[in-house]
Structure 1
Amino acid sequence: MNDLKSITSEYRNNKKNLQLAIGIIREGDIEYYSFCENNKSAIPPENMLFEIGSITKVFTSILLLEMETENLISIDDTVGMHISNADNDYLHSITLKHLATHTSGLPRLPTNLKPSDRLNPYADYAEDQLYSFLSDANYHDQIGVFEYSNLGMGLLGHILCKRLGSTYDALLEKYITNPLKMNDTAVLLNTEQKSKLLNGHTSTGKRVPHWDASIHEGAGGIKSSLSDMCLFVQANLENKNLLSSNLLKSHVPVMIGSSNHHLSWVEDNLLGENYLWHNGGTYGFTSYLALNKELGIGIVLLSNYCYGSISIMDHLINQLKTWITRKEPTEGILLDTIGKEILEKLLEEELHKK
């Protein structure tokens, strides 16, 4: 795509450690592009690993659908059915569908999340703390109302693991990454994968440690490569893989009360065409993917720079109210903005062919 250099120029400005990897999927083919400053690695850019943050949520919802297909769990099960000592009426009023669509009423983050390391906020939040928070949680009046919740998706991933007595990585491997041959996608990396994991940076270039998602791994724990993520988008565009039926099912909104909501995906419209997307962010990485199944096009963007500075992130943690969102940051431009511009160019090209 000839316009990528100009489209990404402002984003790349003053990022001396940047590794920006872009994948374009169309007509069954995958094209890789990269903008790497000071790149001395022998590893091809499409094989470098990034934290993909909240794009993990899409994978968690697909795991739910895959397990439901095997009658191991139901999307309509209540949370209380899967949480030990759940004598809280609220937990018996919300379902796994509520968790997957961010309509459970649960807040973005648990109020008892008080990280000992502000740069790795989830690392020491364990099952006992989660259960302590849930024991008297009461958000009955918010059930059915959309409220983006890292807590809710983390809880969903935890429930899926408990149901099979499995790790999240084992579920991921069984149901998604093995069938799609995504060999470098996991939460906990092996030695070879660790050698390909990039360092993450704030928008000002400060290097930051990698995240340990702990019990919130289903909300944002996955690391992956551009190559693997393009395979994932390609699988969502085609109908010839083992996951096709549930990938397609994840594209269709479900009814919650009187409103439609997607399982993790976000739907938007551009040039009169609907498309699905999700983004992700940790303290050192940002990610974005989008796809339009009707025209058979998709994009993936992975960056080892985050949205803002550590001072901004401190504010998010201290307030426990906001997280990485679609809002414009105070520093730099959002990777989503770049992704949307690339998607618009692709849509224009495909629509022009009609």
Structure 2
Amino acid sequence: MDKIDAFILEKIAATKLPSVSYAVIKDGEVAYANALGFRDLERGLPATPATIYGIGSITKSFTALCILKLVEEGRLSLNDNVEKYIPIRLRSRGENVTIRHLLTHTSGIPALGYAEAFIEGLVSRGGTWLPVAKPQDLLPFMESAEEWAVAKPGERFFYLNEGYVLLGLVIEKVTGAPYWECVRMKILTPLGMLRTYLASEEVMKDGDVAKPYYPDPEKGTPTPGRIPIGITSDGGIMSNALDMAKYVAMLINRGTYNGVEIIGKKSVEEAEIKRVAVPWRLLGDEGYGYGLVISENFYGRKIVMHGGNVLVYTAHMAYLPYDRIGVVVLANSTGYPMSYIAMYILAIALGRNPEELPFLMREKVLRKLEGTYRGYKGTVTYTAKAKGDILILKSQWGEELYLFPEEVREDYAKFHTYTKGYKLDVEFHIGKDGVKIVFERYLLVKSA
């Protein structure tokens, strides 16, 4: 556990995250929980595993489970057209969009950007102003969504926050009660998740809520933001690591927690089936199920997960159903990816070296490549700086080359870049005697 905490502290210090809280689940129980950093920087209050954070789009898994629970009860079908429940014309290329299409983000409609505009306008320094105060306000916003469609339903994945807002409205129509009542009654109360809320006035009454911050490049420090009240079934849940551990344990236990069935085993397994490939892949084979992302490539194991990001809060949950271990990680700003921390923890729990994970190995190597490089007798100088998953190579003349990785190993890394219309390979050789660059006409050696 010390290794995990050291890793987290290093990353939040480097990326100026105020705090991270997490819990590790094994065989249905919390095996370890901890928090590092401040839930409130200005007041100097430390975070704890009980501190409340926004979980962002992990909310979508709760929404999906509510839909699947209604299917179990025979109150709706995943093949029902969305128009059956909501007064909206929702078509793609002339074909009806179903509940299943919204669950899997395969409506054929690309992201309409409501959440991005709402969060940017409400939480940080301004930008596009879209005051969607309640889910029903999204219906007039989506009036022309059909014109935005680029595929027929079921053909292609487009992550659509708006679709999960509509699913919340479907739940309200079927149950005759607010979306949140379905989540509370069918999931939270039976699980004993007593300090999990929708982002609303209710959360303000809790005395242990992480203050929201957004990154401010100009200041170089986290800047206080606002809790994104108004987001609902697509990303509005706020919870803590201990409550979320119960939720992950229930999923690992195939829908049951402490002997109480929250949802049927078959429904959980249906949610964990890859139904469409996703464009963002850390492990190489990720696909989307019902409110969950699935891969079979985590050290050869099946991993089920989802992340969340509402700018002032980021989160990630992941679990290995056959190994019966899981993790949830929460933070009160945007900085280091919570997915990296979650998978680091799971690797440690499996007794594996986390640096074997391709994205962590690439991150480590890129940091090793940073520095100043000089040519023969110092005649030519370049500096290398990592930025995300790329390197920026800057010459003494001010030219900047953006290097995109093709192959990254502990002893060698190959990138490509473009300059004056030409594609150029850039090779880094990493040895005991240092790091060297070979590209175009130059051999450059990294200064000590």
After TM superposition, the score normalised by the length of structure 1 is 0.80
Structure 2 CA distance for aligned equivalents of residues 279 and 2 of structure 1: 24
For 1:26, the equivalent position in structure 2 comes to: 26
Q: Structure 2 residue aligned with 1:130, among 104, 125, 138?
A: 138
Amino acid at match of 2:298: L
Paired residue secondary structure (1:194): coil
Structure 2 CA distance for aligned equivalents of residues 18 and 43 of structure 1: 10
Structure 2 CA distance for aligned equivalents of residues 2 and 293 of structure 1: 25
Residues 191 and 342 of structure 1, relative CA distance in 2, 3 Å threshold:
closer
Amino acid at match of 1:263: Y
Residues 184 and 109 of structure 1, relative CA distance in 2, 3 Å threshold:
farther
Structure 2 CA distance for aligned equivalents of residues 113 and 303 of structure 1: 19
Q: Structure 1 residue aligned with 2:319, among 284, 291, 306?
A: 291
Residues 146 and 114 of structure 1, relative CA distance in 2, 3 Å threshold:
closer
Answer yes or no: is the 8 Å Cα contact 2:311–2:334 preserved in 1: yes
Q: Answer yes or no: is 1:198 the counterpart of 2:215.
A: no
Residues 111 and 38 of structure 1, relative CA distance in 2, 3 Å threshold:
closer
Answer yes or no: is the 8 Å Cα contact 2:118–2:130 preserved in 1: yes
Deviation (angstroms), 1:165: 2.4
Residues 8 and 110 of structure 1, relative CA distance in 2, 3 Å threshold:
closer
Q: Answer yes or no: is 1:251 the counterpart of 2:266.
A: no
Paired residue secondary structure (2:351): helix
For 2:244, the equivalent position in structure 1 comes to: 229
Answer yes or no: is the 8 Å Cα contact 1:67–1:73 preserved in 2: yes
Structure 1 CA distance for aligned equivalents of residues 94 and 171 of structure 2: 16
Paired residue secondary structure (2:196): coil
Residues 33 and 122 of structure 1, relative CA distance in 2, 3 Å threshold:
farther
Answer yes or no: is the 8 Å Cα contact 1:43–1:196 preserved in 2: no
Deviation (angstroms), 1:293: 0.8
Residues 91 and 115 of structure 1, relative CA distance in 2, 3 Å threshold:
farther
Q: Unaligned stretches of 5+ in structure 2?
A: 124-128, 216-220, 278-286, 354-448
For 1:282, the equivalent position in structure 2 comes to: 310
Structure 1 CA distance for aligned equivalents of residues 115 and 348 of structure 2: 44
What is the root-mean-square deviation in Å for CA atoms of aligned residues? 3.1
For 1:49, the equivalent position in structure 2 comes to: 52
For 1:35, the equivalent position in structure 2 comes to: 36
Amino acid at match of 1:285: Y
For 1:174, the equivalent position in structure 2 comes to: 185
Mapping of residues 8-23 of structure 1, within 5 Å? 8-13=8-13, 18-23=18-23
Q: How many residues align structurally?
A: 321
Highest Rg: 1 or 2?
Answer: 2
Mapping of residues 67-78 of structure 1, within 5 Å? 67-78=70-81
Deviation (angstroms), 1:195: 2.3
Q: Unaligned stretches of 5+ in structure 1?
A: 308-332
Q: Answer yes or no: is 1:267 the counterpart of 2:263.
A: no
Residues 199 and 113 of structure 1, relative CA distance in 2, 3 Å threshold:
closer
Q: Identical aligned pairs, as a percentage?
A: 23
Deviation (angstroms), 1:147: 0.8
Structure 1 CA distance for aligned equivalents of residues 272 and 76 of structure 2: 20
More strand by share: 2
More helix by share: 1
Amino acid at match of 1:182: M
Residues 208 and 345 of structure 1, relative CA distance in 2, 3 Å threshold:
same
For 1:147, the equivalent position in structure 2 comes to: 158
For 1:212, the equivalent position in structure 2 comes to: 229
For 2:358, the equivalent position in structure 1 comes to: none
